[in-house]
Structure 1
Amino acid sequence: MIHAQQIKNIIKNSTLFGWLYYWVGVTIVKFLQLFIKPNEKQILFISYSGRQFSDTPKEAFNLIREDPAYADYKLVWAFNRPADFKQAEITNKISSNSPLFFYHLLRSKYWVANSSIDRLIPFKHDNNVYIQFWHGVPMKALGHTEIGLAPLVQHWYDKVAFDYMFTYSDYDLDKFKEVFPRTKRFVNTGQLREKIVERYEGKTNVERIKKELGIKSDKKVLLYVPTFRGYDAKEQTTLTDATLERLAKEYVVIYRGHYFSRATQSGSIITADKFSLYKLFMVSDLLITDFSSVFFDFAPYHKPVYLFQPDLEEYQVKRGLYFTAETLGLPVSYSEAELIDCLNKAEYDYDALEALNSRFNPHSGDEAAFAFKSILEHT
C-alpha cells in the first residue's frame, strides 16, 4: 500500500506528475477563487508543511490567542494528521492533505507559515495575506543554488509571492531576496523564535522538563541534532551508536533527529524527536550538530556549540553551503576522535558565540511580535 508521503515524493520528484499536479491544482484554485471570499478575521496556521504544532507559527498563534484584541478572530490549524494533535488550545483544525484544504486556505484572510502553505502550488492571492517566517537562518543552499532540487520545488521557490517575509538579520535578508525573488516585503525585525525562548523561560521549570524526559542524573546534558542529507551518502554522516554510548558515560545524551532521519538504536540515549526543541535547549548544556541551522537558535542561550561534519566535501558537492563552519569561529570536527578531543578541551571560545549572535540574530522577539501584529492591524 502506498502511503501519503510516498505519493508526495513521487509528485515532487517526477517532472510529469509534478506538472500535472501543479496545473490541476492551479485550475481548482482559480475556480474556487471565483466563489470564495476570505473571512477578514480568520488566520490559517501551518508548521513544517503540516507535520507539527510548533515553531514560529505556534508562537504567532499564541500571541493572537492570548491578546483580547483578537478575541473575535477564528484561528485555524492545518495538519497532515489532525487526529494526532489533541492540544486543548487548538479549537479549529483541518487536514492539509484534504481536497477541502484550499477552501479553508482561500477562506482565511491571513496565512502564517514557516515553509510552504500552498502545497507547492504558488498562485496569485490578491485577497489573502501570506506571512512567511521560514524555519531558520540559511546555511544550506536554497532555491537555484540548491543542487538536485526537484522541479516542482524549484518552481515554487521561483514563483511563490509572500506578502511579508520575516528575517533575522541583514545576512538572511540578502539571501532570501535571491531565493524568493517575488516576495513583496521583507520584515527585518528578527524572528518570533526569540519569543518562544521567553515564553518557556517564564513558564517552564527546567527540573520539570528533565522529569518529562526521564533525566535523573546530575551529569551535563548533551543535545545531538543531526540534519537530513536528502541523498544517498557515501561517507559517514552522523555519530555512530558506539560513540553516542561513549558520550553517554560522561553526559546525558539527547538525540533529536530530523523528521526524515532514522532514529538512533543506542539504548543509553534519550530520543526526543517529538519533544519541543526549545525545551531541549533549556535543559541542555551543550549542542552538537552538523549543517543544521539549529545552532543559530541555540547560540542565544550562551552554551557551547560543536559542529561534526565528517562528510563536508560530499555535502558541499551534493547539497551546497553558503559558508563553512570556520567562517563562524565555531569548533568543527571531521572525525569522531577529533570531536571527542574537542569536547575534552578545558576552554571554549564564548566570544565566537557573541559574535555569531551579533551578526545573525541581533533583534529581540518583541520587535518581531510588534511587526506581526501591525501586519494584522493594517492589511
Structure 2
Amino acid sequence: MKAVIKKIVKYNPFIYAVYYYLCSFLLKILGYFVRTHSDTILFMSFGGRSFSDSPKEIYNYLESRGPNDLQMIWAFERPEEVESVDDSHKVKVDTLKFFLVALRAKVWVTNSSIERGLKFKKRNTIYFNTWHGTPLKKMGLDIKNNQSFSSRADFNRIDKFTVQSDYECDIFSRAFGIDSSKIFKVGLPRNDDLTHQVQRREDLRRKFGFTDSDQIILYTPTFREFEHNSLHQITSNSYMLMIELVKKLPANYKILSRSHYEVDVIKHGDEISDRIIDVSRYPDLNELMHVSDMLVSDYSSVIFDYSITEKPIFIFSFDFEDYQKMRGMYFNIEDNLLSSRTTDGLSQNILNSQESAIQHVKKFKKQYVNFFGTATKQSCQYILKAMQD
C-alpha cells in the first residue's frame, strides 16, 4: 500500500505540489534549529533499497581507511533487513529521524537522490552524487514533456557528480541542469572492482556452484515506465523472453536474470525453467558481472560498466522502434554492439559470434568509458577535504 501511495504522489501533479511545497517549507524551518555535525555522513543507495553500488564502496573505503571519528549513517527502506550495517548506524527513510539525520549531516553520498522529491538541503551540506549509470536512453530535461522531472529535481543542488566518460559530461549538464564545474571525471567507485577480473571470477564461480563448462549469461533489461498496471506498478515480461531464449541454447547455458530496480511486477507466464535464475534482489551487481561469461541487455546503462571487463555483450532490442519513439536514445546502440530483435537472432549471435562481440566491446569501451580504476580513492579524498573546509 505504501508503494502505491508513493506512485500516486509522484504522478499526480496536484498531490505532488502540496507534498513538495508544504514539506519542503517545514523542513527548511526545522533546518534552522538543527546544527550541522562536521563529522557526519549520510549514505543512501537506490533510494534506500539496498546497501550497494558506489555509496557502499565509498563507505567501505572510509570505514577501513578514513578517520576513526567519522559518524556514517545509512538510510534504508527496510533497515531491519540489512545485516551489514550496525543498528546504531541505520535509519529508516521517510521518518522524522531520517530527515533530522539528513539536516545535521555534513555530507550526503548517494547514487540517485536523497531529498525524497523535496527541497531542504542546507547551504553548508556537501552533496556528493555518484549516479548509477551512463545514459543511453534519454533522461531528465532531454525527454520531451517529461512531467515527472522538473525544477523540483535536486540535481542543481549537487556539489560533485561522478562520471566515467567525456560522453556523459554534456548529457548530465544539459539533462540534469548540473554545472560543468561540478562534474567529477574520476569514474564510478563501484566499477573499480571490475578491473580485478581473474581471481574474483574463480572465487565467485565456486560460490554460485557453476562448473567450468557452464556458460553464464547475465540478462539486465532496463525498465519501461510506459508499461505499468492500473496501480502504476511498472511491469516486465523479461522472464518470458528468457524462457524463449534458453530453449534455443545448449543445456550448459544458464541465465542470471536481473530486472531493473524500478520494476515492480515481473510477469512469469505459465512456464518456469531451472536454467533461469532470478537475481533481481542479489545485492552485488559487480559479482554477477564477474561470474558471468557474457551480457545480454537492451538499453540499460549496465552495458557501459560491463564493457570494462571486455567480455561479450549482445544487445536484445526486441522493441527498438517502440522504445525509441516512447523514450528516445542518445545514439543507436544497434550500430555499436552486436544486436538482434528476435530470440532466434540473439541465440545465433551468442553461439556463433562471441569473438566478434569482444572486438565490438573493446571499441565501445574506448569511446564511452574513459575513467575507471581509482574512483573510490579520489571520491573519498574529495569528501574528506570538503569536510575539513
Q: Same fold (TM over 0.5)?
A: yes
In structure 2, the partner of 1:112 is: 109
2:384 is the counterpart of 1:376: yes
In structure 2, the partner of 1:174 is: 170
2:341 is the counterpart of 1:334: yes
In structure 2, the partner of 1:243 is: 245
Aligned pair in 2 of structure 1 residues 123, 181: CA closer, same or farther (>3 Å)? farther
SS in 2 for 1:307: strand
Q: Deviations over 1:274-332 (max 9, x none)?
A: 221111111111110011010111111110000001111111111121111134x2001
Aligned residue identity for 2:60: N
Conservation of the 8 A alpha-carbon contact between 2:216 and 2:294 = yes
1:214 CA displacement: 4.2
Unaligned runs of 5+ in 2: 229-235
Aligned counterparts, 1:21-170, within 5 A: 21-67=19-65, 69-88=66-85, 91-147=88-144, 149-151=146-148, 153-157=149-153, 160-170=156-166
1:182 CA displacement: 4.5
Q: Deviations over 1:2-44 (max 9, x none)?
A: x221111001000011101101221121111110111101100
SS in 2 for 1:299: helix
Aligned counterparts, 1:275-286, within 5 A: 275=282, 276-286=284-294
In structure 1, the partner of 2:232 is: none
Greater displacement, 275-284 / 341-350: 341-350
In structure 1, the partner of 2:231 is: none
Structure-2 separation of matches of 1:166 and 1:173:
9
Unaligned runs of 5+ in 1: none
Aligned counterparts, 1:204-353, within 5 A: 205-216=200-211, 218-232=213-227, 238=238, 239-247=241-249, 249-259=251-261, 260=263, 262=266, 264=268, 266-268=272-274, 269-275=276-282, 276-327=284-335, 329-346=336-353, 347-353=355-361
1:354 CA displacement: 1.9
Conservation of the 8 A alpha-carbon contact between 1:143 and 1:157 = no
Conservation of the 8 A alpha-carbon contact between 1:255 and 1:273 = yes
Aligned-pair identity (%):
29
Aligned residue identity for 1:342: N
Structure-1 separation of matches of 2:153 and 2:26:
21
TM-score normalized with structure 2 length: 0.88
Conservation of the 8 A alpha-carbon contact between 1:122 and 1:161 = no
Q: Deviations over 1:217-248 (max 9, x none)?
A: 72211111111111138xx9642423234336
Structure-2 separation of matches of 1:309 and 1:147:
22
Aligned pair in 2 of structure 1 residues 107, 158: CA closer, same or farther (>3 Å)? closer
1:343 CA displacement: 1.7
Aligned residue identity for 2:326: K
SS in 1 for 2:137: coil
Structure-1 separation of matches of 2:76 and 2:183:
27
